[in-house]
Amino acid sequence: MSKLQGKTALITGGNSGIGLATAKEFLAQGADQVIITGRNQQALDLAVQELGDKAQSILCDSTQMTHIRQLAEAVKALTPSLDIIYINAGISEFAPLEHITEDHYDHVFGTNVKGVVFTVQQLLPLLNEGASIILCSTAGVQKGFPGASVYVASKAALAGFIRIWATELAGRKIRVNSISPGFTNTPLFDKVGLSEEQKQGAMELYNSKVLMGRFALPDEIAKSVTYLASNDSSYVTGTDLLVDGGYKLT
Amino acid sequence: MSKLQGKIALITGGNSGIGLATAKLFAQEGATVIITGRDQVTLDTAAREIGDGTIAIRSDAGQLADLDALFQQIKTEFGGLDILFANAGIFKNAPLADSTEALYQELFDINVKGVFFTIQKAESLLRDSGAIVINASTVAHVGTPGASLYAATKAAVRQLARNLSMELAARRIRVNVVSPGVTHTAIFGRLGYSEEQAAAGFAHLAGEIPLRRVGQPEEIAKAVLFLASDDSSYVVGEEILVDGGYSTIGTPGVQR
């Protein structure tokens, strides 16, 4: 278990769900240092406590450009350079076409597209030769669902980033890929205000839409991110890895 | 390093190149490895290289009778299989005007028919929660002059992974695809080029690839290991491109 020996990683949105599971897996694979970001100090502190003394946190709200513009400085206070950045922070907000507001659009694109561009740009000078950048997309790009148009479009934009950045950064041997998780059992589900009964109903409905008949565990997504982060994928760049339990197929 | 401890893995075309690199990696990860190939001498050499306990069986992936004999032997000796890497395949190219019926037949017999019936005949031996990985190619994603038949065979097997994933889902057998880009194997030698010409060929191709080098068989093997192991437990019907960015990037060379 030493795939990431000697590596320093930064995970945005690393205090819960897939981000936190990935931080755990990175450390389990021997990473030297894992820095997580998030917008809630208390949640960050709890996560760092759980992760142990190789983990550190930076309070950074990825929906706020002012926070993003200060990220590199904050990272430099913790490490001179990075080997892995996993851009996991993003927002999932849904609205059918007739209910899409300008605020909804600006919020989703501002975080999931603009926020990603300037986060990666900020961190670029800190990246070591041979670093790995992983962006979090969604299986919804491959097969959508009603109400998700703005969200899915924002994630689809990442396909352009990974291809072009892979070319632009190949000279520094930096690889750029994305991961597209399907339905994943994360606290996000608890945050949208469903009752336990509604949650159960929703899970059953979604389970029936997935070939494997179940949601992903955050740990399963984390292992795929680790594949892309480690030297195991040294010849993989400019591509997307779909981890959706066969949602796209059904 | 024991991601495949106790597993029995069959790798067709496991006597050279990507197949051999994968067999070595699987063995390192604790699997019992069975390799097939068409040439007994290279099979025996490969089996020794992979290590003790490796089984080498002469079997032509394009011959259904060979496949029947292969799976009968596996059934007798092992009783079942956990992992199948359908890797055997050939590369030949020709422009449209020069593509003969014989070339068509040869490519499709080994690369498509061989893969399909290997999986069909392996199915009853595969244990629940097993994994199948098919070796396709990045050429199924781009246009390559002269490679139309080869690319078509690889597009066909990429699609197989989708349909067979659906059919095998009830048994929790996952079917996925690895699509290598240009990989440093004996491919040029097989096409009749000298070592010097092969080196020049790889150097030329490297210039077309964003990472500015061709892939090593070991790099493809690691993707196969990911897909064959529980690390990819939620990945099904999917493909990993291991091509240094070759297929996803239209015009490498800009901005460097």
Region B223-235 average pLDDT: 98
Place of tokens 């493809």: B220
Q: Which residues of A touch B212 (CB under 8 A)?
A: 170
What is the 3-state secondary structure of A144-204?
CCCCCHHHHHHHHHHHHHHHHHHHHHHHHCCEEEEEEECCECCCHHHHCCCCHHHHHHHHH
Contact A163 B248 (CB under 8 A): yes
Residue A130 falls within a domain, yes or no?
yes
Closest CA to B173 of B44, B84, B73: B84
Is the pLDDT score of B256 beyond 70? no
Nearest to B234 among A162, A171, A243 (CB): A243
Q: What residues pair up with A25 in beta bridges, in sequence order?
A: none
Rounded CA-CA distance A100/B19 in Å is: 51
Q: Which fold has domain B8-180+219-241?
A: Rossmann fold (3.40.50)
Q: What is the side-by-side strand order in the sheet with A240-243?
A: A55-59, A33-38, A8-12, A82-87, A127-136, A175-181, A240-243
Grouping H, G, I as helix, E, B as strand and the rest as coil, residue B231 is helix
Catalytic residue (choose from B104, B150, B234, B246): B150
Region B83-104 average pLDDT: 96
Q: Which residues of A touch B218 (CB under 8 A)?
A: none
Q: What is the domain-level CATH number for residue A96?
A: 3.40.50.720
Q: State whether residue A129 sits within 8 Å of chain B by CB.
A: no
Phi, psi values for residue A56, rounded to 5°: -140, 165
Radius of gyration of chain B (CA): 18
Q: Which residues of A touch B225 (CB under 8 A)?
A: 232
Q: List, as ranges, residues 159-178 from A with C-beta within 8 Å of B.
A: 162-164, 166-168, 170-171, 173, 175
Contact B210 A234 (CB under 8 A): no
Rounded CA-CA distance A250/A118 in Å is: 36
Q: Which residues of A touch B254 (CB under 8 A)?
A: 167
**Model confidence over B176-215: pLDDT tens digits?**
999 999 999 988 888 888 989 999 989 999 998 999 999 9
Nearest to B234 among A232, A236, A245 (CB): A245
Q: How many CB atoms lie within 10 A of CB A45?
A: 14
Pairing of strands A33-38, A8-12: parallel
Inter-residue contact B159 to A202 (CB < 8 Å): no
Q: Which residues of A touch B243 (CB under 8 A)?
A: 235-236, 239
Query: Looking at residue A203, what is its pLDDT?
Result: 82
Q: State whether residue A206 sits within 8 Å of chain B by CB.
A: no
Q: Which residues of A touch B222 (CB under 8 A)?
A: 232-234
Q: How many CB atoms lie within 10 A of CB A192?
A: 12
Inter-residue contact B193 to B255 (CB < 8 Å): no
Q: State whether residue A69 sits within 8 Å of chain B by CB.
A: no
Helix runs in chain A, H state only: 17-28, 41-51, 65-68, 71-76, 102-109, 115-123, 149-169, 188-191, 196-207, 218-229
CA distance B18 to chain A (A): 14
A-B Cβ pairs (cutoff 8 Å, strict): 116
> Dmax of chain B from CA atoms?
58
Contact B255 A168 (CB under 8 A): yes
What separation in angstroms does the CA of B197 have from each of A20, A168, B180, B191, B202? 50, 30, 22, 11, 9
Phi, psi values for residue B123, rounded to 5°: -55, -45
Query: Looking at residue B192, what is its pLDDT?
Result: 86
Rounded CA-CA distance A231/A10 in Å is: 17
B150 is catalytic: yes
Please tell me the total count of domains within chain A: 1
Q: Where are the domains of chain B?
A: 8-180+219-241, 188-214
Each residue's pLDDT expressed in tens, for chain A with a length of 250 residues: 689 999 999 999 999 999 999 999 999 999 999 999 999 999 999 999 999 999 999 999 999 999 999 999 999 999 999 999 999 999 999 999 999 999 999 999 999 999 999 999 999 999 999 999 999 999 999 998 889 999 999 999 999 999 999 999 999 999 999 999 999 987 766 666 778 888 888 888 888 889 999 999 999 999 999 999 999 999 999 999 999 999 999 8
Closest CA to B239 of B148, B159, B153, B168: B159
Inter-residue contact B176 to B235 (CB < 8 Å): yes
Inter-residue contact B241 to B17 (CB < 8 Å): no
User: Residue A166: CA atoms inside 13 Å, Cβ hemisphere, count?
Assistant: 33
Q: In whole angstroms, what separates CA A246 from the centre of its chain?
A: 20
Q: State whether residue A232 sits within 8 Å of chain B by CB.
A: yes
Residue A64 falls within a domain, yes or no?
yes
Helix runs in chain B, H state only: 17-28, 40-50, 64-78, 101-108, 114-123, 148-168, 187-190, 195-206, 217-228
Nearest to B210 among A166, A233, A246 (CB): A166
Rounded CA-CA distance B216/B214 in Å is: 7
Rounded CA-CA distance B17/B20 in Å is: 5
What ipTM does the predicted assembly reach? Answer: 0.90
Residue A177 lies in domain? 8-181+216-240
Residue A101 falls within a domain, yes or no?
yes
Q: What residues pair up with B131 in beta bridges, in sequence order?
A: B83, B174
**Model confidence over B17-71: pLDDT tens digits?**
999 999 999 999 999 999 999 999 999 999 999 999 999 999 999 999 999 999 9
Q: State whether residue A143 sits within 8 Å of chain B by CB.
A: no
Write the DSSP assignment of B62-128 as a string of letters: T-HHHHHHHHHHHHHHHS-EEEEEE---------GGG--HHHHHHHHIIIIIHHHHHHHHHHTTEEE
**Model confidence over B123-151: pLDDT tens digits?**
999 999 999 999 999 999 988 889 999 99
What separation in angstroms does the CA of A164 have from each of A103, A167, A175, A177, B211? 29, 5, 11, 11, 13
Residue A245 falls within a domain, yes or no?
no
Q: List, as ranges, residues 197-236 from B with C-beta within 8 Å of A.
A: 210-212, 215-216, 219-220, 222-223, 225-226, 231-236
Length of chain B: 256
